[in-house]
Structure 1
Amino acid sequence: MKIVPASEFSLRRELEYGSEEQNEAVKRIIEEVRRDGDAALRRFAEQFDGVSVAELRVSKEEIEAAYALVDESFLQALREAAVRIRSFHEKQKRTSWMDLQADGSILGQIVRPLRRVGLYVPGGKAAYPSSVLMNAIPAMVAGVPEIVMVTPPATAGVDGIDPHILVAAAEAGVSEIYRVGGAQAIAALAYGTESIPAVDKIVGPGNIYVALAKRYVFGIVDIDSIAGPSEIVVLADDTADAGYVAADLLSQAEHDEMASAILITPSQVLAEAVQAEVARQLATLPKREIAAQSIRDNGAILTVASLEEGVDAVNQLAPEHLEIITAEPFQYLSKIENAGAIFLGPYSSEPVGDYFAGPNHVLPTNGTARFSSPLNLDDFMKKSSVIYYSREALLRDGQKIIALAQHEGLEAHARAIQIRLEKEGNSNG
C-alpha cells in the first residue's frame, strides 16, 4: 500500500457507462422482454444462468422451506438487525400538512408512499441478505404496499435461490419474489410481463448490465442510483490502532477489485504501521486476491500536515464511507461536508453500519456524496402540492399573476386569470 502526500494523489473513479457492445446487448435484452414478456425471461435464464425456469414466482412453500435451511444464529442476528434498521428509518417519517391562510386560502402538501417498488438482489460473486433488509425495510416503513424482489435463479448454484436471501426477504416484508436476474429483470420491472406487473421504482445494486439497464429505463420508472465500486476513507491520528485501521481498509477492499481504501493521516508513524498491517492481514484473508488488487490499484495512505488538511482531503474525495479515528472525533464532525456515512471513534468499524447499527448501508459512491444521500424513506415517497385559492386571494393577486404570465408570452395563462377577474366585476384589480 503506497504512502504519498495527499496533494499528489488522484483517485481513479469508474463510471458505469459500459462499452458499446454492452450497451447494445442491454438494449436488445430490454426490447426482447418488452416484446416477448415471460418467454424472453425464460429464454435468458437458460442462456445466461444455465437453468430452466418453469415458475417465475417463488412460492410461499419455497420461502417457508428456506427457513429450515438457515442457522438459528443467522436468523436471530437477521431479526435483530431488522429491528434496528426499522427503528432508525421510522424516525425519517414525514407527514402531510395543510396551512390555512388568513384570506381563506389553503396551501399544503400530501405525502404518500409509492404504490409498487422493485428490489434487485444480485447473485453473482456473492449474495447479500443484509442488502435485502436495507432496501426493503425503508420501503415497508414508508408504507409501500407492494414490494417486489427479483434475483437470478441460480444464486445457490444450479439448485435455486440462496435460502438466506429468501428468509431476509420474508423478514423484511417483501410481498413477491421472482427468479429472474440481469438486465432482463430490470426490463420486466420497468415494463411488466404476463407474470410480473410493472413497478414505479427500482432499487438495488447489480453488475454492469444491471446498471446500464437501470440507466436505460430511467424515466419509465424511477431508480435509486447507478452504484459504483465501494469506497472507504479513514481519517486518523497517532492515537489510532494500526490493526483496527488496516482491518477496516481491507473490509472494503475485499468487496471488489475496483474498490478503494484510503487512509489519511498526519502521522508518519501510523502510516508506516498501517502499511505493514495491511500486508500482514492481507496474507491470511480468504479473498486476498480481490483485496490485494483493490489495494494495489486503488488503495493509498495519504499524508497531510494536519487533521484540518485531512478534512479538506476528505471533502474533496466525498467518500461513500468515512471513519474518523482520532483523539476527539466529534471535533471534526461538523467540518465534514461530503460523506455518505460517517463512523466516529475506534469501535465504530464500518461493518457495524453495513449490518447492524440501523442507518442504511446503501450509500452514494463515485464522489456523489457531494450531492446525494443514503437510501432513506424519501426514496419511497412522493409528494403532491395542494392549492386552494380563495376569491379574496385571487382578486388581490390576479393582476400580478397576469403581469408575470404576459411577460413570459403566455397569453392563455393570463386570460385564465383575467376571465375570473371580469366575472367577479374586478377587472381593474
Structure 2
Amino acid sequence: MRIVAASEFELKREVEYGSPEQNEAVRKIITAVRAEGDEALLKLTQDFDRVSLNRGQLRVTQEELQAAYGQVEPSFLSAIRQAADNIRVFHQKQKRNSWMDLQPDGSLLGQVVRPLKRVGVYVPGGKAAYPSSVLMNVIPAQVAGVPEIVMVTPPATGGKEGINPYTLVAAAEAGVTEIYRVGGAQAVAALAYGTESIAPVDKICGPGNIYVALAKREVYGDVDIDSIAGPSEIVVLADDSANAAYVAADLLSQAEHDEMASAILITSSASLAEAAAAEVDRQLANLPRQEIAAASIQNYGAIIVVDSVAEGIGLVNRLAPEHLEIMVQEPMAVVGMIENAGAIFLGPYSSEPVGDYFAGPNHIIPTNGTARFSSPVDVDDFIKKSSLIYYSKEALLQNGSTIMELARHEGLEGHARAIQVRLEQEGTLEGDQS
C-alpha cells in the first residue's frame, strides 16, 4: 500500500455518470417498460438475467418466503433479528411530529408531517447479496409510517436456486410482504411508472450497479430517489496509539466491497504508516475477496503521513468521507472538529462493520464527498411536510398593507389585489390602491 505525504496526495473518485452508450441503453429500457409493462419486464429479464418467467412468477409468494427460513442458519436468524431491533430503536429517536403554534392575533401556523404512501426498495444481486441493506432501507420507512413498502431484486441473486434466501428472510423479518423478482434499470422503471403487476411508488431507494444508478437518475422528478451512490469509502485518522492490525483490517473491510472502493489511512505516525502497510499486505494474502480488495488498494488506496493530527483533521474535512474511523489517543477530543463525514466511528473497538450491520445507525451514507452537504438515510427520507397557515382577520388587517408592498415591488399586482380586495371589503382600505 503506497505511503505518501499529504502534499503529494490526490484522491481519485469515480462518479457514476455512465458512458453515452450506457445512458442510451437505460433510456431505451425505461421507454420499453413504460410502453409495454410486464411484457417488457419479462423480455428484459430473459435478455439480461437469463431467467425465463411468466407474469404470474414476477411476485415472490408467501410460500417462498417461508421456505427461505429453512435455508438459513438459526444463528443468522438470531443475528438479523438483533440487528433489526437495534436499527429500529435508533431510528425511532428520529421521528418527527406535526406541530401547530397559535399566535396572539388568532393566527395559527404549523407543519403537518406525513409519511410517503409507497416506497420501493432495490436490493442488488451482483458481486454479493446484502441482507443488511434490506433492514437499513425498510426499517426507517416503517418507523416513518410508510404503509406500503415493495422490494425488487434480480431473479437469481442466489444463483440457479433463485433469490438469495438470506435476502428473503431479511425482508420478511423487516415486514416486507410485496417482493418482485426483477432487477436492473427495468426494475427501477417499473417502480417509477408501474406495470400491470407492480404499482408505482413515490420514492426509490437502495444501491445497485451503474445501470440502476443511471435509471434512478433518469426517473428522478417523476419519483424521488435516495441518492446516486458511488463506491464505498473509508478514512482512518490515527496517531501512534493505533493498532496497525486493526487499521489494516478496517481498510480491507471496505476495499473488499468493490474494485473502485477507496481505503485511506491518515496518520501523524510514520511508524504506524509502515506497520499498517505491512499489515495490509499480510492480511490481504488470505482474504477470500483478495482480487477485488487488491485492485481497490492499488488504485484507490493510500497511507497519508501528516505532520500532526490537526493537519489530518483538515484533510478529513476536505475529503468528506463516507466512513471515518478516529483511532487517536483521545477520540472524543477530536470529534467536535470533524465537519464533514457520513458516519464517525470513535476508538479502536468501533470498527466500521459494527455500524454496517449491528449498532443501529444507518449504513446507507453519502459518498463521493457529498457528506459536505448530505446525511445518512434516516426517517426524514420517508416523510413529507406541509406548511399550515390559518390567518385571522385581525392579522390580515394588521399586515395586509405590508404584504401588498412586497408584492408590488416584485411586479405581481394580482398578488397585491388578492389582499386588497379583502381589506376593501373590511372597510380598512379606501378605493383602488393600484
Same fold (TM over 0.5): yes
Structure 2 residue 125 is matched with structure 1 residue 123: yes
The letter of the residue matching 1:51 is V
Matched, 1:374 2:369: no
**Partner of residue 427, structure 1:** 429
Q: 2:407 pairs with 393, 405, 408, which one?
A: 405
Name the SS of the counterpart of 2:336 in structure 1.
Answer: helix
Q: Are 2:266 and 1:231 aligned?
A: no
In the alignment, what sits opposite 1:7? Answer: 7
Instruction: Provide the residue aligned with 2:189 in structure 1.
Output: 187
**Separation in structure 1 between the aligned mates of residue 217 and residue 241 of structure 2, nearest angstrom:** 44
Query: Which sections of structure 2, spanning at least 5 residues, go unmatched?
Result: none
**2:19 is the alignment partner of 1:19:** yes
Runs of 4+ aligned residues of structure 1 deviating over 4 Å after TM superposition are none
Q: What residue number does 2:59 align with?
A: 57
Q: Deviations over 1:222-271 (max 9, x none)?
A: 00000000000000010100000000000000000000000001100000
CA-CA distance at 1:53 after TM superposition? 1.4
Q: What are the residue-to-residue correspondences of 1:85-234 with 2, within 5 Å?
A: 85-234=87-236
Instruction: Tell me the residue number matched to 2:267.
Output: 265
What is the Cα deviation at residue 7 of structure 1? 2.0
Residues 94 and 378 in structure 2, CA contact (< 8 A), matched pair in contact too: yes
Instruction: Calculate the TM-score normalised by the size of structure 1.
Output: 0.99
2:250 equivalent to 1:251: no
Cα shift readout 1:65-102 (whole Å, capped 9, x = no counterpart): 11111100000000000000000000000100000000
TM-superposed CA distance for 1:157, in Å, is: 1.1
Which residue does the alignment assign to 2:330? 328
Contact residue 93 and residue 377 of structure 1 kept, 8 A? yes
Do the aligned partners of 1:260 and 1:299 also contact (CA within 8 Å) in 2?
A: yes
Q: CA deviation at 1:156?
A: 1.1
User: How big is the shift at 1:160?
Assistant: 1.1
Contact 1:148–1:177, Cα closer than 8 Å, also in 2: yes
CA shift at 1:410, angstroms? Answer: 0.8
Structure 2 equivalent of residue 44 of structure 1 = 44
CA distance in 2, matches of 1:159, 1:426: 77
Q: CA deviation at 1:14?
A: 1.1
**1:384 equivalent in structure 2:** 386
In the alignment, the residues of structure 2 paired with residue 20 and residue 39 of structure 1 have an alpha-carbon distance, to the nearest angstrom, of 26
SS in 2 for 1:332: helix
Letter of the structure 2 residue corresponding to residue 37 of structure 1:
G
Whole-angstrom CA distance in 2 between matches of 1:385 and 1:9: 47
Shift of 1:352: 0.3
Residue 321 of structure 1: how far off its partner (Å): 0.2
Q: C-alpha displacement at 1:158, in angstroms?
A: 2.4
Shift of 1:175: 3.2
Aligned positions, number: 429
Instruction: Letter of the 1:23 partner, please give it.
Output: N
Match of 1:241 among 240, 243, 246: 243
Give distance in 2, aligned partners of 1:143 and 1:176. Answer: 16
Task: For residue 324 of structure 1, give the secondary structure of its aligned residue in structure 2.
Answer: strand
Structure 2 distance, partners of 1:324, 1:281, is 21
Contact 1:205 1:211 in 2 (8 A): yes
The more displaced of 240-249 and 158-167 is 158-167
Letter in structure 2 aligned against 1:35: A
SS at match of 1:402: helix
Give me the whole-angstrom Cα distance separating, in 2, the residues matched to 1:256 and 1:318: 19
Aligned Cα root-mean-square deviation (Å) = 0.8
> What letter is aligned with 1:346?
P
Contact 2:62/2:177, CA 8 A, preserved across alignment:
no
- In the aligned structure 2, how far is the partner of 1:258 from the partner of 1:354? 19
Q: Distance in 2 between matches of 1:363 and 1:424?
A: 55
Q: Is the 8 A contact 2:233 2:262 kept in 1?
A: yes
Alpha-carbon separation, structure 1, partners of 2:288 and 2:6: 31
Counterpart CA distance in 2 for 1:7 and 1:149 is: 46
Q: Percent sequence identity over matched residues?
A: 73
Residue pair 2:111, 2:388 contacting (<8 A) in 1 also: yes
AA partner of residue 13 (structure 2): R
CA distance in 1, matches of 2:207, 2:244: 32
Distance in structure 1 (CA, Å) of the matches to 2:429 and 2:142: 52
What are the superposed Cα offsets for residues 267-287 of structure 1, whole Å, 9 maximum, x if unpaired?
Answer: 000000001000000001011
- The unaligned stretches of length 5 or more in structure 1 are none
Compute the displacement of 1:159 (Å): 2.5
2: CA distance, partners of 1:156 / 1:287: 18
Residues 67 and 163 in structure 1, CA contact (< 8 A), matched pair in contact too: yes
Does the 8 Å CA contact 1:265/1:310 hold for their aligned counterparts?
Answer: yes
- Distance in 2, matches of 1:310 and 1:124, equals 35
Secondary structure at the aligned position of 1:335 is classed as coil
Q: Deviations over 1:182-224 (max 9, x none)?
A: 0000000000000000000000000000000000000000000
> How big is each residue's C-alpha offset from its partner over 1:109-147, in whole Å with a ceiling of 9 and x where there is no partner?
000100000000001111100000000000011110000
Contact 1:186 1:210 in 2 (8 A): yes
Q: Is the contact between residue 123 and residue 152 of structure 1 (CA under 8 Å) also seen in structure 2? A: yes
Aligned to 1:29: 29
Contact conserved, 1:51 with 1:158, CA < 8 A, in 2?
A: no
The amino acid across from 2:191 in the alignment is: L
Does the 8 Å CA contact 1:146/1:175 hold for their aligned counterparts? no
